[in-house]
Amino acid sequence: MTPSQKTLFTSEKICMDWQQKRRPGAGLYNLGSTCYLNVILQCLTYTAPLANYLLSRQHSRVCCQQGFCMMCVMEAHIRKALYSSATAIRPRAIIRDLKFIGEFKPDIPGDAYEFLRCAVSAMQTACLGECSESDIPSDETTIIHQIFGGLLRSRVTCLSCNTVFDFYKIFLDILLKIKGASSLNTALEDFVAPKEMNGRKCFRCSKCKKKVAASKKVTVHHEPRILTVCLGRADDQTSRKLSQVVEYPEYLDLRPYMSDPAGEPVLYSLYAVVVHSGHTCLGGHFFCYTKASNEQWYKMNDVSVDSCGIQAVLGQQAYLLFYARCSNSHMKDTAPCPSSHSFLSQGQASSQAGSAGPQARPGRMRVTNSQRRSSRERDRSRSPLWDNERRSWIMNTTDYNNSAQKRKRTRPAGHDNAHRDDTTPGASRRSFQRAPAHRAAWEPLPREKQQSRPSR
């Protein structure tokens, strides 16, 4: 007898609007090289349906997991961040359990997108752990999948017999290529445009009984409540950072990019933006903009939390975009109705985007294996060997003194009270010591150690 599937959370219980209106929460101290971690924690904290659920303590009341539970850790962090009277807090619980979330270390730069995917996956695993051995949980009924999960459809058409095949895949975020794209609209149009499958990527047609050329078109078949978009800023050929400004709207209509583009508008509202400043993918700094429950925007740069306007938000060199599903009635109250192929509130390019140089607390961006291989073959003498998954290369040659000094936050009119680091001129408040055990950022390991690395 096959055990019945257990529904872990019903979608009717999800509340997309904030249940409590509060001031913005605390900033986060950078404990080494954790700016990539701080921005994701802030964006998740201001994800209304997730925060509503965790603040209600529905999970912790019934959680019986032994040891690490990402949902319990996030519940404690969000409560502390939103209810603390301090201007900044230290996310020590997250740092302590980094090894359970992914292969991250607080003193080694990381990628914000990679940490987001690992954090969401850890929360999904924690939700599935609520079931007993006699129950088979349905992955798509967890609170995490109900919030972030959607469905992609890949329609493959055989160019030999014209047979159509449909394949479906669950997604929690969308990675877009932005090379040559001037806006999010353009990048999404390229994402859903039909692409030919030939050569090495030939399709094996079950009707033709052989590999044939085919056409593939990917569309959003079922939209998520929270749409997370990563603008891939690592060039496929050079692995260098793509620093062009990609315009993105405050309100987005996803309908033109869905399997049924002729239906009613599927409207989203922007509530968080992650920005990477720096000239390369392997260094720089992460900060973010979030919309709090009071409907006001704030720039969050580690310990600094400062109010800002929507035009400042829309003019950034964005890396991650967070959109929340909204109703048509809400759109009518907040903005004029957009057409199916237009976007609202296009911002001007910010003069701050990409202007920062080397950072004291760096955050690197996601680089694929193919990009790393092509970079090594092109110039072995100066191309870093970096592995996002294994982190076998030490990027930092300095040992930071983590005894953080408490900073008094002041907000004079017109002054950007940003956290001080190497991006601003002047002496740093931190003390730096050379770590003899660490290797230089551009120095490869000996060949015998390279061969001993586990294959991915």
Residue type, 271: Y
List of long-range contacts for 404-410, beta carbons under 8 Å, 24+ apart: 404/29, 404/31, 404/90, 405/429, 407/88, 407/303, 409/87, 409/88, 409/303, 409/304, 409/305
**Interior angle at CA 11, CA 289 and CA 296, nearest 5:** 20
The SS3 of residue 320 is strand
Radius of gyration for the chain, computed over Cα atoms and rounded to the nearest angstrom: 23
For residues 124 and 131, the answer to whether their CB atoms sit within 8 Å is no
63 is an active site residue:
no
Q: Which residue from 103, 99, 115, 92 is spatially nearest to 28, judged by alpha carbons? A: 92
Question: CA dist 123 to 208, 222, 249, 301, 454, Å?
Answer: 43, 22, 29, 25, 27
Q: Which residue from 255, 337, 300, 397 is spatially nearest to 89, judged by alpha carbons? A: 300
Q: 43 Cβ partners below 8 Å, 6+ apart?
A: 116, 272, 274, 288, 290, 320, 322
Q: 448 Cβ partners below 8 Å, 6+ apart?
A: none
285 is an active site residue:
yes
The DSSP bridge partners found for residue 291 are: 297
The SS3 of residue 79 is helix
Annotated catalytic residue: which of 145, 221, 285, 419? 285
For residues 335 and 250, the answer to whether their CB atoms sit within 8 Å is yes
The SS3 of residue 430 is coil
CA 80 to chain centre: 22
Annotated catalytic residue: which of 35, 43, 69, 118? 35
For residues 224 and 325, the answer to whether their CB atoms sit within 8 Å is yes
Residues in the chain, total: 456
Q: 42 Cβ partners below 8 Å, 6+ apart?
A: 28, 81, 272, 288, 290, 300
Indicate the DSSP class of residue 379: -
Residues with active-site annotation:
35, 285
